[in-house]
Structure 1
Amino acid sequence: MNRNPDYHLAVQDFQSAHLRAKLQGVLARITGRSNELLSYEDIASKLKLQGRSDKGIQTIPVDAIIGSVGRYADFTRTFLPRRAGDLQRWANVKTALDPAGVGLQPVEVYKVSEVYFVMDGNHRVSIAKQEGWKTIEAHVIEIQTDIPLTPDVQPDELIVKAEYADFLEQTGLNRTQEILDLRITIPGGYQKLLDEICTCRCQMEQEDQTACSLQDAAESWYRDIYLPFAEAVRERGMMRWFPDRTITDLYVWMTEHRGDLEKELGWSIRPEAAAEVMVQSKSRRATAADSKIGSWRKARLLNRYSEHLFRDILVPVGKTAESWDALEQAFRIAHREEAHVHGLHTVSTKEELNDPEAIAIQNQFQRFCEEEKIQGALAVEVGEPTQKILDRSTLTDLIVMKISYPPSTGIKLLASHIRTLITRSSRPILAIPGGVSNLNHALLAFDGSPKSKEALFVATYLAEQWKTELTILTGL
């Protein structure tokens, strides 16, 4: 029988820790939050871990140790001892331990992303955790992975992470040089991404008339579709409406609803615009934020240097021939900006939606777009023209419209409401009083107001990118 008083204290500490392990188990069942120590073997299988490198002796954070190789069932997530039979071994290790930890043999661990799994030294880690140590010496072998793991990861989250690993391997995105962040928090999302990539692959094969690998299609999807979406979401601060979710979650949500939205609007819209509309439908605060003067400029600050500023152009079209001048102007801009052109024709009653005249306008608009080789479509809506333009403008970057005096009927009626549009629209408006312009010269009246700052933003973009000659008029 061991008469060492330190050993008896260690036995008492073990009994206390063992009791707390039982209490943690009860609490875990009540809350539904797992207190299980993670199995390295399970993680290695699900995340397809491969490749390793010896990092030598390092000082590692104790709280980042979340699993074990082979002994995951013997301890809780916080390394409290579960087995009463571990008493003697646990107490002997603690008795031999210097209070300051000096001379402690380094434990051996696998490092996976930001977390560690114990190969040898489970009792030492258990005691270190109970003693409140912040760090411990360890011989570290790092295992390569593309999947992020953090100390707070839960077992049920590993299902999604396993899907992530499968997705990266299947698409070949784990072999690219880019640093990817396609985290999803809800199971099943990666299949939807894979469906998107397969659609992209079919389109590429049709356009190029040649076979395309899934990896090439995935890289094209990531570069040309997902990244612009992610950048727009970040720039516009959309994620503040979705706490505890990721940008990829929002993308998956958008893909599920984009088709219905396009059918409802009668337009083909970009993923980031679809997300913006859906965010607004969920939150009045989001709608108010996007309608605020200056919101469009702030969301496009980076675009003016990295890409075209006007990606989507709205053109109200009426029954009169002169209303089509705005469309011609929009085509001029669309060619320079590689933009989509979206037409809007408003009618007073639902019966007029299928009126031959409205259908003829829609067909004529489509014919003009095809002749100009511009992507576009015209939607016919029932309602007050000014309000419908304002509603649709949030999907676009520029409103181009014909202004005729004196006010009359149809599109001319808008001239009497131009002040309302200018006051309430968060998007820039290009009013066409006469013929089509190449925008070679621009005159800016600047008074320091929010609207004049918006105009200055557009004018300086035209001066920089289009080489438009700019004259600024201001008063003292």
Structure 2
Amino acid sequence: MPRDTGFPQADAENDFLRARRGQVLSRLAAWLRREPDDVNIMLPFDEVVGSLGMVSERRLGLQVVRLDSIVGSVDRTRDFDRRFRPTSARVRERWQRLALAQRRGESVPPIDVYRVGDLHFVKDGHHRVSVAHALGLETIDAYVTEVVTRLDAHGIRYRGDLIVKDYRRLFLERVPLPGEARAAVLLGDAWDYAKLGEHVEAWGFRLMQDDGAFIDRATVARRWYTEEYVPVVRMLRQADLLGKRTETEAYLWVAGERYRLIRTHRWDDDVLNALRDRR
């Protein structure tokens, strides 16, 4: 709890000034450290849900929510930063009025949030969240609506992470992998998901040519994973070709190099030796 001088009005004013000062200093520090532009930007709810793929939602009612799990907003991303510090003096009057009420011990209504995984996004109550942060609180009462998405929200820290999630969602629509395979195929570069999707579809087309029959996407995805991906990753691990890449990044790299160097789709010792020389 910030220092209390015994004059609630003055303390509320100081609370706001301290929050604004913290926001400005945080922006300056991020600039000096050359951090990404979005490091202090609040996550937009619509962009997050759009990237993950909306499935359904349900009301959970009144709950106690940790303030550090509230990372975004439905429609007020410009007024507050990632830690809900005011980004301008525009919100000052209402902010100080709520801070004064809190300091006087007056009742403050619960906020309204959406829950996506472990993350929360404010629908109503941005000023209340900001004041709670400034006063050093750790939790806040909230009416929670849970949103279920096709992809989980794990790994989302900044706005830039949404690009990878969005491309992964599109990849999994093209290549509907089952549970274990879905979790194993991971890439760090968003565009690599597009390249891998093209690769798997081409692999599936060759498979249909060999079989002389149409094969649906789910079957292509399952067979690619079991007949191509898993054996190749095992070979790459044995040949010490993974390096610092993830298994999927290594697979995508060697698959492209294999065809560029040798013009073949086969896997054998000659292919691995040629690829080892290209590391």
TM-score by length of 1: 0.49
1:195 correspondence with 2:198 = yes
1:204 correspondence with 2:207 = yes
What is the match of residue 221 of structure 2? 218
1:247 correspondence with 2:252 = no
- Three-state SS of the structure 2 residue aligned to 1:108 is strand
The number of residues matched between the two structures is 267
- Three-state SS of the structure 2 residue aligned to 1:255 is helix
Structure 2 gaps, min length 5: 1-5
Whether the aligned pair in 2 keeps the contact of 1:159 and 1:187 (CA below 8 Å) is yes
Whether the aligned pair in 2 keeps the contact of 1:157 and 1:185 (CA below 8 Å) is no
CA distance in 2, matches of 1:114, 1:249: 28
Whether the aligned pair in 1 keeps the contact of 2:47 and 2:162 (CA below 8 Å) is no
- Three-state SS of the structure 2 residue aligned to 1:169 is helix
1:24 correspondence with 2:23 = no
Whether the aligned pair in 1 keeps the contact of 2:118 and 2:153 (CA below 8 Å) is yes
The residue type equivalent to 2:267 in the other structure is S
Structure 1 gaps, min length 5: 283-476
1:55 correspondence with 2:60 = yes
Cα offset, 1:260, TM superposition: 4.9
The residue type equivalent to 2:16 in the other structure is F
The residue type equivalent to 1:255 in the other structure is A
What is the match of residue 123 of structure 1? 127
What is the match of residue 135 of structure 1? 139
Change (3 A) 1:86 1:186: same
Partner deviation per Cα, 1:2-47 (whole Å, 9 max, x = no partner)? xx92132111111121122223333444414221111112223333
> Structure 1 residue runs of 4+, over 6 Å off?
231-239
1:79 correspondence with 2:57 = no
Cα offset, 1:179, TM superposition: 6.9
Partner deviation per Cα, 1:97-144 (whole Å, 9 max, x = no partner)? 269x99653322112233221111111221233334333332222212
CA distance in 1, matches of 2:181, 2:131: 38
CA distance in 2, matches of 1:80, 1:38: 14
What is the match of residue 12 of structure 2? 10
1:43 correspondence with 2:48 = yes
The residue type equivalent to 2:28 in the other structure is V
Across the aligned residues of Structure 1 and Structure 2, the Cα RMSD in angstroms comes to 3.5
Change (3 A) 1:9 1:43: same
Change (3 A) 1:214 1:74: same
Whether the aligned pair in 1 keeps the contact of 2:19 and 2:86 (CA below 8 Å) is yes
Partner deviation per Cα, 1:222-262 (whole Å, 9 max, x = no partner)? 333334556778899987x52xx64333332232223356x
The structure having more radius of gyration, on CA atoms, is 1
The residue type equivalent to 2:191 in the other structure is G
Q: Structure 1 vs Structure 2: percent identity of aligned residues?
A: 28
Aligned counterpart in structure 2 of residue 106 of structure 1, from 106, 110, 114: 110
Aligned counterpart in structure 1 of residue 165 of structure 2, from 161, 177, 194: 161
Whether the aligned pair in 1 keeps the contact of 2:241 and 2:250 (CA below 8 Å) is no
- Three-state SS of the structure 2 residue aligned to 1:138 is strand
- Counting only pairs closer than 5 Å after superposition, residues 253-264 of structure 1 correspond to structure 2 as 253-260=253-260, 263=262
Partner deviation per Cα, 1:322-355 (whole Å, 9 max, x = no partner)? xxxxxxxxxxxxxxxxxxxxxxxxxxxxxxxxxx
Whether the aligned pair in 2 keeps the contact of 1:62 and 1:125 (CA below 8 Å) is yes
CA distance in 1, matches of 2:28, 2:149: 34
Whether the aligned pair in 2 keeps the contact of 1:147 and 1:165 (CA below 8 Å) is yes
The residue type equivalent to 1:254 in the other structure is V
Partner deviation per Cα, 1:397-439 (whole Å, 9 max, x = no partner)? xxxxxxxxxxxxxxxxxxxxxxxxxxxxxxxxxxxxxxxxxxx
CA distance in 2, matches of 1:228, 1:72: 46
What is the match of residue 3 of structure 2? none
The residue type equivalent to 2:258 in the other structure is R
Change (3 A) 1:14 1:177: same
CA distance in 1, matches of 2:212, 2:114: 48
Change (3 A) 1:151 1:102: farther
Change (3 A) 1:281 1:132: farther
For CA contacts below 8 A with separation 6 or more, give which structure has more relative contact order: 2
CA distance in 2, matches of 1:217, 1:45: 26
Partner deviation per Cα, 1:299-328 (whole Å, 9 max, x = no partner)? xxxxxxxxxxxxxxxxxxxxxxxxxxxxxx
- Three-state SS of the structure 2 residue aligned to 1:93 is helix
CA distance in 2, matches of 1:230, 1:52: 38
Whether the aligned pair in 2 keeps the contact of 1:63 and 1:151 (CA below 8 Å) is no
CA distance in 1, matches of 2:181, 2:58: 20
TM-score by length of 2: 0.79
